[in-house]
Amino acid sequence: GEEGITLTITANAISGGKNAAGAEWIKQWVIPRFEAAQKAAGHEVRVLFQPNGVGDEQYKTKVALDLKSRTGADVIDLDGIWVGEFAQAGYLKPLTELGGTAVETWEGWKQIPQAVQGLGIFEGKKYGLPQGTDGRVLYYNRELFGRAGLPEPWQPRSWQEILDAGAALKRLPGVTPIQINAGTAMGEATTMQGALPLLAGTGTEIYTGGRWAGSSQAVKDVLEFYRQIYSGGLGDPKLQQEAKGRDKSFAEFADGRIGILAEGDYFWRSVIDPKTGVAPMAERDRVVGYARIPARRPGAGVRGQDFVSLSGGAVRVLNPFSKHPRQAWELLSFMHSAEAVKAELAGAARVTSRSDVNAEVLAADPMLRFVSEEILPITVYRPGLAVYPQVSAALQEATADIVSGRPVQEAAAAYRAKVEGLVGGSGNVAD
């Protein structure tokens, strides 16, 4: 039976390019070890890696086309947000249907917090294994804070306190006080780092109880906050419109030209890391501070929280059309073993999905420990539905409207009209 089985892994990672470390891990660590382990167990298994190095949309399209024509890799990397729409399209099946009883009895489940498991769950069924997660915080530049006479360490308790800090920073020449992503050029970053955390701070989620947030007071409050920043001279509207605006905001923060920046922990790890970052800050640990994102007012956040955050993360799924689903599960679970996950980190610190690994690897990095301990408990995930990207886009457009000076009322109404069109009528929209 199992003579000469071939399994394929695909991911948006490629040697010498995008996510090179991930690609190396698969090629150098996962494949040889898994093959060796299988051999030891008496199975002849060959594992191939199909790298990619493109934009997320293109990667998603290619994977979808593969699955649509019932081909493709056996183990596939996906963004957690795509799980729902892929499942609806029949491109994914619950893990248990594919991997059999081995799935239920996998040791790893115990190590993945329930909230994080949610990344791979759609309509109550587990479709994928989460690779890791993250959290959003407010970064601030301590030096600028010092020069602006602001207290430090800094932890705002309401939106107003952010604005106040911005007003103080505004007095420094050549400094953009606050960068909260807005506009369509930033794409999903606007929703993730801006609109949704703010919305959570008003106690609302974008999709609850089968209905999408419309032009509610919550949405208007969010837009009003944007307005205060971008028409009050606290943010740089141009930055929100450039195609490469987000990259530029990174560079400016690293340069000490942005006071406060809302970003995920990825920013800390990969952007301003003194050694490996794309916009390295030699004095990161000394200069950069971080704070939880406050609710609009204390206690006004979702679940009555004082502080809020938003999380995302990638998952790995099994191809339902795999010829060898059980072996594929073995491979998938192998890739999520504690040992493998540690190897994937390759010494770097990152919030993984496994608590056991986190406890070990985050010890050295206070920022990531902060995310893992302080942020994950208060965080929110996005709905993994097919129309979500479009609703998100509508939300981005609404923020873009604000940045370009349109009144809050109008932008909110336009947003609501769009959402109604997208989700099939006002019945599916709250307020």
**Chain residues that interact with another protein, rule: CB under 8 A:** 14-19, 21, 50-55, 57-58, 60-62, 64-65, 68-69, 71, 82, 85-86, 88-91, 183-185, 238, 240-244, 247-248, 250, 266, 270-271, 278, 385-387, 389-390, 393, 397, 400-401, 404
Taking Cα atoms as reference points, which of 330, 262, 248 lies closest to residue 293? 262
As measured in angstroms, the least distance from the Cβ of 72 to another protein is 9
Do residues 154 and 146 lie in contact, with contact meaning Cβ atoms separated by under 8 Å? no
- DSSP secondary structure, 273-319, as one string: -TTT-SS--TTHHHHEEEEPEEPSSTT-SGGG-SEEEEE--EEEEE-
Q: How far is the CB of 236 from another protein (least distance, A)?
A: 10
**d(Cα 38, Cα 46) in Å, to the nearest integer?**
9
Measure Cα distances from 18 to 21, 211, 277, 402 in Å. 9, 37, 13, 33
Closest CB to another protein among 238 and 303? 238
Residue with smaller CB distance to another protein, 218 or 403:
403
The least CB distance from residue 244 to another protein, in Å, is: 7
Distance of alpha carbon 347 from alpha carbon 341, whole angstroms? 11
CA distance linking residue 151 with residue 141, whole number of Å? 12
Between CA 133 and CA 55 the distance in angstroms is: 20
Q: Which is nearer to another protein, 39 or 238 (CB)?
A: 238
Q: Which is nearer to another protein, 56 or 152 (CB)?
A: 56
Count of CA atoms in the C-beta half-sphere (13 A) of 25: 20
Q: Which residue, 14 or 192, is less far from another protein as judged by CB?
A: 14
173 preceded by a cis bond (ω within 30 of 0): no
SS3 261: strand
Helix 388-403, helix 217-230: angle, nearest 10: 40
Complex with another protein: residue 89 or 102, whichever CB lies closer: 89
CB 47 within 8 A of CB 7: yes
Nearer to another protein, 6 or 71 (CB): 71
Nearest to another protein of 219, 385 (CB atom): 385
Dist. CA 294–CA 351, nearest whole Å: 22
Task: State the nearest-atom distance from the C-beta of 78 to another protein, in Å.
Answer: 11
In whole angstroms, the minimum distance from the beta carbon of 264 to another protein comes to 10
CA dihedral 205, 211, 213, 218 (to 10 degrees): -60
What's the count of helices (H) and strands (E) in the chain, helices before strands? Answer: 21, 17
Work out how close the CB of 393 gets to another protein at its nearest, in angstroms, rounded to a whole number: 7
Nearest to 394 by CA among 207, 169, 125, 253: 207
Rounded Cα distance, 399 and 401, in Å: 5
Q: What is the smallest separation between the CB atom of 350 and another protein, expressed in angstroms?
A: 11
Task: Quote the least distance from Cβ 304 to another protein, whole Å.
Answer: 33
Shorter beta-carbon distance to another protein: residue 42 or 347: 347
Give the nearest distance from C-beta 344 to another protein in angstroms: 13
CB of 91 to another protein, least distance (A): 7
For another protein, which is the closer residue by CB, 111 or 249?
A: 249
Which 3 state secondary structure label does DSSP give 206? coil
